[in-house]
Amino acid sequence: MASSLLSRTLLGHRLIRFSSSLPHNPLIFSNLFNKREFCVQAGSYHTTYKASGQPSRLMASAAIEIRSNFSTQSLSTNDPVVSVDWLHANLREPDLKVLDASWYMPDEQRNPIQEYQQVAHIPGALFFDVDGISDRTTKLPHMLPSEEGFAAAVSALGIHNKDGLVVYDGKGIFSAARVWWMFRIFGHDRVWVLDGGLPRWRASGYDVESSASSDAILKASAASEAIEKVYQGQTAGPLTFQTKFQPHLVWTLDQVRRNIEEKTHQHIDARSKPRFDGAAPEPRKGIRSGHVPGSKCIPFPQMLDASQTLLPADELKKRFNEEGISLERPFLTSCGTGVTACILALGLHRLGKTDVPVYDGSWTEWGAESDTPVDTSS
């Protein structure tokens, strides 16, 4: 974590030095998509690119109509996703904040903060560090932080309770669902996942920024520093975000253990079938293979179509019915480390199941314990 924070701080300093060399007068650019000019002050310089050869997917009249009806206070939370067209039309609204919550599996060898800083992100998006904004008292990866830690981190990002939030990631729908779930756990329901994420945004020909402003880098670093201070018992700074913990949306190992006998909830595992069956090794060392007794497997990609957007409700229902899962009974979801389990929760939310708990420790916790029962299908 120290090296991660250092790299962010150093890059922030480089950006500050770079911006100081720019002209003091605002730089004027032409936004080719909406044919209007915008200015960039020297202190927050960034470069904007637009995918070439892509026609507009949203006529001006439609954009005006969507924007005129905008309000995150009135936008329905019944559906957990918004389209890239909707976000493009409302991107500049003052009560909307966009979060890049990209995170990747260790074997993918991708650096999300580096891609945010140097490759591409949606204009104005803040970086939400899934690994950084997490519990500092456990060795398990990116576990849910304390209420105080979460409030301090998102306040450092400049997020307020009044804000509507759209979360996206670099794969389509992946880690963004985890951050959607985190905000809901802490009582913030005005949060949506961008359907199809950054890949669909770019495929639609919408602008991206290829470098981050010094302000955005400093906020990302400040968020990590703030949560670190909380866990060290220090004061993190003024809070702009107040939490209201929703304990029914997160389960512990003991709750999952009891559910094996009590069977109050249908346990759905989002990992791949080979990992669930115990036929494939776990990606992390020291973790047994297999699954929690009584659980069923629906790999998270089954919630998505080929373009990595969330399936319509009728298709989602088919996926659950095919695995013998009743939509009339409660659910519990898990995965490897509590990330893709949230994609199952996202799909169930579209079906009106808004109170689905996620087992935060998931298989990385369960499979590492010596006294937890494990089933295999081999």
What are the catalytic residues? 335
Is 143 within 8 Å of 152 (Cβ atoms)? no
Burial class (CB in 10 A: 0-12, 13-18, 19+), 240: middle
Which H or E run includes 349? helix 341-350
Q: For residue 218, which amino acid is it?
A: L
Phi then psi dihedrals of residue 251, to 5 deg: -115, 155
Closest listed residue to residue 237, CA positions, set 152, 158, 146: 152
Say how far residue 295 (Cα) sits from the centre of its chain. 25
Structure token pair of residue 210: 């290829």
Phi then psi dihedrals of residue 320, to 5 deg: -70, -40
Distance CA 197, CA 210 (A): 16
